[in-house]
Chains A and B, each alone.
Chain A
Amino acid sequence: MTRGMWTRETVALMLLAAYLPLALFWAWHGGAEALGRFALAAVIVAVWHVVFLLARAQAPSLSGMIVALAVAMLAPEDLGVIRLALGLSFGVVLGELVFGGWGRNVVHPATVTLSFLGFGFPAFAWPGFDAPVAWAAIPAALIGIATGTMPAAVLAGAAGLGAAALLLGAVPQAVLFAACIVLVLLVADPVASAATTPGRWVNGALYAALVILFARGWAGAAPAQIAVSAALLTSLVAPLLDEAALALWTARRKGRHGRT
């Protein structure tokens, strides 16, 4: 995707378009307070992008708005400006910008921010999600798949296992809603998820499995906390899944041709 109109910024724009239904429903339910949080997060992210533009000549990216949206939606409530700025600076700088900007990061910067805020300030409550906002994750995923910016196999893997768990009644509804939103916002990110098709299937299934495990075994965890923790672990494992998929492919090819 390096020729023609498909540059990094096109991908970021398409992702933003995919998140639009989710963002609109959330802003509609949250009102002015939600928009204020998003604006604050966007300003902090933009400042860091400009700092790295000036210090290291790294082109700023519209993906920062995705990070701001994800953090504004999922961050613990009533944190205050300073704590949000601290967590967001940590996530954006150490999660993304030091690696060279969006596209070279290992973990989604919003995942880093949310984990930092969650572990750093356990006293603040995680947000809950109403049904309409959670349902809006479905059009977001569909647009993402249609434009090719969200890995379909990740979404399918998670949805498959999630549906099975739902039929067995293994997860409460609140966890399911939070898990859907986090799946779309953090897990099905084209950079932080696995890059090979088998790796993506396992990536999505692993996320769903971790959510089910945490929902059943982690006493006292909020739904959003469960989903964010599962997203963090999944994106840390993603490179390993790719490595395994490539090793399998090499081994199969060796068996077929007698050489690599």
Chain B
Amino acid sequence: MTAARATWSTLTDPLVRQNPVTLQILGICSALAVTTTLATAVTMSVALTIVLTLSAGLVSAIRRHIPGTIRLIVQIVIVASLVIVIDQVLQAYFAEISRALSVYVGLITTNCLVLGRTEAFARHNPPFPAMIDAFGNGLGYSLVLVTIGGLRELFGKGELFGRTILPLADAGGWFTPLSLMLLAPSAFFLLGLLVWAVRTILPEQSEAREHTPPPSTEPAE
């Protein structure tokens, strides 16, 4: 019973409470780069979740045989091989999306999220919990990516998955697209607003203050 609950919390914690992107600010490089449309965001999420889960399982399975001094190299080799497989599959079956994602699938290799989970969790836990944890983190990453990707495509082009949701003013509708949404800074803004919203709802996530403000110089009334 408790084991099942522990597994369940390992899976669901990274969704919001321990979300890798909004709490730990990991893997945002790709999160910012591929979220111009929902289709690329979903593809990237699926690719990263698969790579993360499989690599966590593999690293965890051989965790007692990895020499501590070269563990990063071993982990990167495992992750890189999986990434190459995923990249080839995408190129074979989803050529258009693969072109849109350009190098970012390849860069999953160096995604902090993947190395972070294999290094912090998979190296110390048996394969099944490690894969559950990795899958949960992949889902948490996907949640953020799909949210931001959806917002950017909806307000930047008035579309979702390339289908028109808000009719554009150019085509006789009423919606004027916000071109800023298709530029990179908007991903920063949206991610910042998302982090702000999450930390307002869950105040325990906010970090300690770096400075204490000076005492007010205005007399109290």
Contacts and interface: CB of A to CB of B under 8 A. Distances in A.
Contacts of B185: 119
Interface size class of B (residues with CB under 8 A): 10 to 19
Contact of A121 (B179, B183, B213, B217): B179
B197 interface: no
B216 to A, nearest CB: 10
Interface in B175-219: 176, 178-181, 183, 185, 189, 192, 196, 213, 217-218
A252 interface: no
Contact of B180 (A2, A98, A120): A120
Contacts, number: 22
Contacts of B178: 120-121
Contact of B176 (A7, A90, A98, A121): A121
A98 B217 CA distance: 21
A90 B185 CA distance: 13
A255 interface: no
Contacts of A121: 176, 178-179
Nearest to A104: B213
A217 interface: no
A47 to B, nearest CB: 19
Nearest to B213: A100
A123 B176 CA distance: 10
Contacts of B180: 116, 119-120
B176 A83 contact: yes
Interface string A91-115: 0001000101000000000000000
A94 B179 contact: no
A119 B189 contact: no
Contacts of B181: 120
A122 B176 contact: no
Interface in A97-156: 98, 100, 116, 119-123
Contact of A119 (B176, B183, B213, B217): B183
Contacts of A119: 179-180, 183, 185
B218 A94 contact: no
Interface string B108-145: 00000000000000000000000000000000000000
B199 to A, nearest CB: 12
Interface string A5-48: 00100000000000000000000000000000000000000000
Given A94-B189, A120-B178, A2 B217 contact: yes
A98 B193 CA distance: 11
A2 B216 CA distance: 10
Contacts of A120: 178-181
Find the residue from B176, B179, B183 having the highest chain A CB count within 10 A: B176
Nearest to A80: B176
A119 B180 CA distance: 6
Interface in A146-181: none
A122 B189 contact: no
B218 to A, nearest CB: 7
Contacts of B213: 100
Interface in B36-92: none
Contacts of B189: 90, 94
Interface of A: 2, 7, 83, 90, 94, 98, 100, 116, 119-123
13 contacts: A2-B217, A83-B176, A90-B189, A94-B192, A98-B196, A116-B180, A119-B180, A119-B183, A120-B178, A120-B179, A121-B176, A121-B178, A122-B179
Q: What 6 pairs between A and B have smallest CB-CB spacing?
A: A120-B180, A2-B217, A119-B180, A120-B178, A122-B179, A120-B179
